[in-house]
Structure 1
């Protein structure tokens, strides 16, 4: 079951999927304008259907509340270009700047921030064979020279 909540304290529309916070759209208010900044989803909920559900809900909420929308969020801009019936929600002076079709076609999900790690291959096989880990210098970890002058952002490295 999907639920969308307007968390006014955190200034974001939050999407819950079966009770889990799947993602949100961050916004700020400027008078009667809702400024959308970015859309963020957990990687495991990456789907056009979920993004469309969230963005459509926001547009309908803005329309219902009789607000203007400033879609600085790239995902929302692309979404609005696909649905010109919502362009009237953007102030007329900003429509030429914010609702411009790109020469390269994109989907809204191409412009969403995703959190969570992508699946990675297991390194267990390499460790079982006894191979050594290689560090930034290209030398095996056991032969990495340690000096007192090693710095990280101007501070000594821990353990040196």
Structure 2
């Protein structure tokens, strides 16, 4: 799941575009995507959009020397508040949001084998789950919904391996 950091010589066009969109999104909300927050988001994107906080800290350390974990966590908290990043509790990982950056509650499909995460925007399903939680007088009303299972790619690989056996 974790990819090695790409050289800082130049950003891939997709990453540069995502950073520009994040900057515009934050500006529209009246918040500031500071250089440090932007760098943490950039590093996450350079890792394919998914990384653990300590991997991001290591990447920052490669660039700047000593970096406190709290620096990375504060930046990630800001990025989550802006709906640019989601925390995947099942993997203790952060992923870049692949949807419009509005208040939403995605369904995060987490593969228990390869640890791939697929983000689905399904407002109808999310609202149904939250309606049931409200009926149960639950306090779980603002969370993302994580569903663990095995992705199609891993299932296909298992089928191939079973056929060879």
Task: Specify the TM-score bucket, using the shorter chain as the normaliser.
Answer: under 0.3
Structure that is richer in helix per residue: 2
Report the TM-score when normalising by structure 1. Answer: 0.26
Larger Cα-atom Rg? 1
Structure that is richer in strand per residue: 1
